[in-house]
Chain A
Amino acid sequence: MAIPLIYNVRSIQGRFSSTLVALFSIAGVVAVLIAMLAMASGFKKTLVASGSAHNAIILRGGATSEMESSLELEQIKIIGDDPRIARDSAGRPLYSAEVVVIAALPLRSSGTDANVQIRGVSQDALAIRDTVKLLKGRFFTPGLAEIVIGKHAQETYSGFDLGKNIHFGGRDWSIVGVFDAGGSAFDSESWCDANVLNQAYKRPENLFQSMTARLTAPAALQDLKNAVSTDPRLTVGVKSEIAYYEEQSVMITTLINVLGFLVAGVMGIGAIFGALNTMYAAVSSRYREIATLRAIGFRGSQVVLSFMLESLIIAFLGGLLGALIILPINGYTASTINWQTFSHMSFAFAVTPDILIQGLLFSLILGFFGGFFPALRAARRPIAPALRGL
Chain B
Amino acid sequence: MTNNLHAQDALIAVKNIHKNYQRGSETIEVLRDVNLNIHKGEFVAFMGPSGSGKTTLLNLLGGLDVPTSGHIFIDGEDIAGMSAKKLTTWRSRHVGFIFQMYNLIPVMTAFQNVELPLLLTRLSKSERRRHVEAALAIVGLADRMSHYPRQLSGGQEQRVAIARAIVTDPTFLLCDEPTGDLDRKSANEILDLLTRLVQEHAKTVLMVTHDPLAANRAGTRFHLEKGVLAVNSKGEAP
Contacts and interface: CB of A to CB of B under 8 A. Distances in A.
B119 interface: yes
Given A1-B120, A4-B112, A292 B92 contact: no
Contacts of B117: 296-297
Contact of A293 (B56, B62, B65, B116): B116
A298 interface: yes
A60 to B, nearest CB: 70
A215 B120 CA distance: 68
Nearest to A3: B119
Given A1-B119, A7-B108, A14-B107, A296 B97 contact: yes
Interface in B80-139: 84-85, 88-89, 91-93, 95, 97, 99, 101, 103, 105-108, 112, 116-117, 119-120
A300 B65 CA distance: 15
Interface string A1-16: 1111011001101100
B55 interface: yes
Interface in A66-107: none
B213 interface: no
A4 B116 CA distance: 8
B120 A7 contact: no
Contact of B85 (A289, A293, A299, A387): A299
A298 B85 CA distance: 10
A297 B164 CA distance: 12
Contact of B65 (A11, A292, A296, A383): A383
Contacts of A288: 101, 103
Interface string B55-90: 110010010110000000000000000001100110
Contacts of A382: 65
A388 B103 contact: no
Contacts of A299: 85, 88-89
Contact of A295 (B93, B97, B101): B97
Nearest to B176: A387
Given A297-B91, A297-B92, A383-B64, A7 B105 contact: yes
A384 interface: yes
A377 interface: no
A294 interface: yes
A296 B85 contact: no
Given A4-B112, A298-B120, A292 B91 contact: no
Given A292-B103, A299-B85, A6 B112 contact: yes
Interface residues of A, number: 26
A292 B106 CA distance: 12
A384 B67 CA distance: 12
B85 to A, nearest CB: 7
Q: Is the interface of B mostly helix, strand, loop or mixed?
A: helix
Contacts of B88: 294, 297-300
A14 B108 CA distance: 11
B99 A296 contact: no
Contacts of B55: 388
A383 B56 CA distance: 12
A296 B93 CA distance: 9
Contacts of A6: 107-108, 112
A295 to B, nearest CB: 5
A296 B92 contact: yes
Nearest to B120: A297
Contact of A296 (B84, B101, B116): B116
Interface in A1-60: 1-4, 6-7, 10-11, 13-14
Contacts of A289: 103, 105-106
Task: With a 10 A CB-CB cut-off, give which of B55, B97, B107 has the most chain A CB atoms.
Answer: B107
Contacts of A3: 119
Interface in B41-64: 55-56, 59, 62, 64
A382 B56 CA distance: 13
B64 A7 contact: no
Contacts of B99: 292, 387
Contact of A297 (B65, B89, B108): B89
Interface of B: 55-56, 59, 62, 64-65, 84-85, 88-89, 91-93, 95, 97, 99, 101, 103, 105-108, 112, 116-117, 119-120, 164
23 contacts: A2-B119, A4-B108, A4-B119, A6-B108, A7-B108, A289-B106, A292-B103, A293-B105, A293-B116, A295-B91, A296-B91, A296-B116, A296-B117, A296-B120, A297-B117, A297-B120, A298-B88, A298-B92, A298-B120, A299-B89, A383-B65, A384-B56, A388-B55
Given A293-B105, A296-B91, A296-B117, 4 more contacts: A1-B119, A4-B119, A289-B105, A384-B56
Instruction: Enumerate the 10 nearest inter-chain pairs by beta-carbon distance, A residue then B residue, closest first.
Output: A297-B92, A10-B107, A1-B119, A292-B103, A384-B65, A384-B59, A297-B91, A383-B64, A384-B64, A297-B120
